[in-house]
Amino acid sequence: MNHLRHDWDAAEIAALFQLPFNDLLYQAHSLHREHFDPNQVQVSTLLSIKTGACPEDCGYCSQSARSETDIERERLLPLDEVLEKAQTAKTNGASRFCMGAAWRNPTDKNLEKVIDMIAGVKALGMETCVTLGMLTEAQSERLKIAGLDYYNHNLDTSPEHYGNIITTRTYQDRLDTLQHVRDAGIHVCSGGILGMGEARADRVSLLQQLANLPQHPESVPINMLVQVEGTPLHGVDKLEPLEFVRTIAVARILMPTSYVRLSAGRTEMSDETQALCFFAGANSIFYGEKLLTTANPDENHDQVLFEKLGINTTEQVPISTDALVPA
Ligand code: SAM
Ligand code: DTB
Ligand code: SF4
C-alpha cells in the first residue's frame, strides 16, 4: 500500500518513543483501529521440531551448544508426532502452526522432511510458519512451491548491539535470508527481542531496520527476553514493562498494517501489561503452554484474560466459562 513509509530516520522514531505515554498510545491505538478490528487477536502455536545442539552462539538461546543449559538434544521429530501436535493446537483454537528448528540453516535433505510437515499441517486447514535459520534463494523457492505461508527469521536487535549478542552469523546474513524469503513470495515474519541489555537507541534502530525493509514484514514478533539459566544473557537487567509497551506502540505506528505479535516473555508479564500491549497495537500472540523450550501462559489463563478484555481470536478459542474469574 502506497501510504506505508519505508524512509523513517532514527530521530523521528526516537521522538515517538519520547512522547508522553498517553499521547503515544492514543496515536498507536487510533492507527490500529484504522487497519484492524481492535478486539481481534490472531493466535499461533509453536512447536520445536528439532531441539538443542545448535552450532550458533546466540547469547539468549537455550538451544545453543555453547550455552550451559540442560536442554536435551533431540532429532527431527517424526511426522506423525508433529501432526498430532498440530491437530491439538487447531482443536484449541490456533489458526497458525509454527515449527522451529535449532539449525544454523537446513540441509536440503532436512528441508524435504520439513516440507512433508508443512503439507500435513496445511491439510488440517491451518496456516503454516517455519523458522529454520538461514535460507538460500533456492530453498526459499522450494518452500514457496510446497505452500508455506510464513517464514520467521528475526533481526533480533539493532545492527549496533548485534555483535554483543551473536558472532556466528552477521546482520547482513539475516537481511539476505529475509530478502530470499520475500523474493520467493512467502509472507515474512520478522522482529526481535527486547531486554537484552540494549539501550533505547537500539530499540529505535531495530524498528527502523524492520520498517525500512522494502516491504514491511506481514508479522512482527516482539519478544521479551526469557532469561534462561546457563545462557550468557541470564541475569541481564530487566526491561521496564512500560518501555516494552512503548516499543509495541512505536512498532504499530511504523508498520500500521502488520500483525504485531506479543511473543515470548508473557509468563512474566502481568495481565495489565499485556492489556496495555493489546491497546498499543499488539494483535497476535503465541498460544499454548510451551514456546520452543520455555513456558508460555497456560491456555486457561489466556482464555480468562481474553474474556476479561472482550478479545476474540481469529479462530474462536473455546472458552470454558467455569474457569472465569468474576469481574
Ligand atoms: N534457529 C533458527 C534461528 O535462530 O533463526 C530458528 C529458531 S530461533 C529459537 C527463533 C527466534 O526465537 C530467535 O531468532 C529469537 O528471536 C527467539 N528466541 C530464542 N530464544 C529466546 C529467548 N530466550 N527469549 C526470547 N526470544 C527468544
Ligand atoms: C519468535 O519471534 N519467537 C518465537 C518464534 N519466533 C520462533 C520463539 C520464542 C522462543 C522463546 C524461548 C524458548 O522457548 O526457547
Ligand atoms: Fe540456534 Fe536459533 Fe538458538 Fe541461535 S536462536 S542458537 S540459531 S536455535
pLDDT band at 1 (very low <50, low <70, confident <90, very high): very low
Q: Could you tell me the three cell numbers for 31?
A: 492507527
User: How far is the centre of ligand 1, averaged over its atoms, from the C-alpha of 250 (Å)?
Assistant: 22
Average pLDDT over the chain, rounded to whole?
91
Q: Could you give the CA distance from residue 255 to residue 213 in angstroms, rounded to a whole number? A: 11
CA 98 to CA 80: how far, in whole Å? 16
**CB of 133 sitting under 6 A from ligand 1:** yes
CA atoms of 64 and 167, how far apart (whole Å): 12
pLDDT in the model for residue 49 = 94
Within 8 A by CB and 6+ apart from 6, the residues are 211, 212, 213, 214, 216
- Nearest atom, ligand 2, residue 100 CA: 7
Q: Is the CB of 44 under 6 A from ligand 2?
A: no
Under the banding of pLDDT at 50, 70 and 90, the label for residue 215 is: very high
Q: What is the mean pLDDT of residues 115-143?
A: 94
- Does position 21 have pLDDT exceeding 60, yes or no? yes
Task: Give the helix ranges, DSSP H, for the chain.
Answer: 10-18, 21-35, 79-91, 108-123, 137-145, 159-162, 171-184, 200-211, 241-254, 271-280, 299-309
Catalytic site residues? Answer: 54, 58, 61, 98, 129, 189, 261
Query: Is 227 close to ligand 2, i.e. is its CB under 6 Å away?
Result: no
Average pLDDT over residues 292-297: 87
* Predicted local distance difference test score (pLDDT) of residue 288: 81
**Dist. CA 326 → ligand 1 center (Å):** 37
Q: For residue 150, report the distance from its CA to the centre of ligand 1, in Å.
A: 16
In this prediction, residue 315 has a pLDDT band, given cuts at 50, 70 and 90, of low
- Write out the three cell numbers for 143: 518452500
The pLDDT score that the predictor gives to residue 94 is 82
Q: What is the pLDDT of residues 132-169, one digit of tens each?
A: 999 999 999 999 998 899 999 999 999 999 999 999 99
Compute how many other C-beta atoms are within 10 angstroms of the C-beta atom of residue 201: 15
Continuous segment of H or E residues that includes residue 177: helix 171-184
Say whether pLDDT at 2 is over 60: no
What pTM was estimated for this model as a whole? Answer: 0.91
Instruction: Give the closest ligand to the alpha carbon of residue 168.
Output: 3
| Residue 92 CA to ligand 2 centre (angstroms) | 20
Angstrom distance (rounded) from CA 320 to CA 37: 24
Ligand 1 pocket residue status of 103, Cβ below 6 Å: yes
Among 132, 96, 127, smallest CA distance to 114 is for 132
What are the Cα distances from residue 11, in Å, to 2, 64, 222, 285? 23, 35, 21, 30
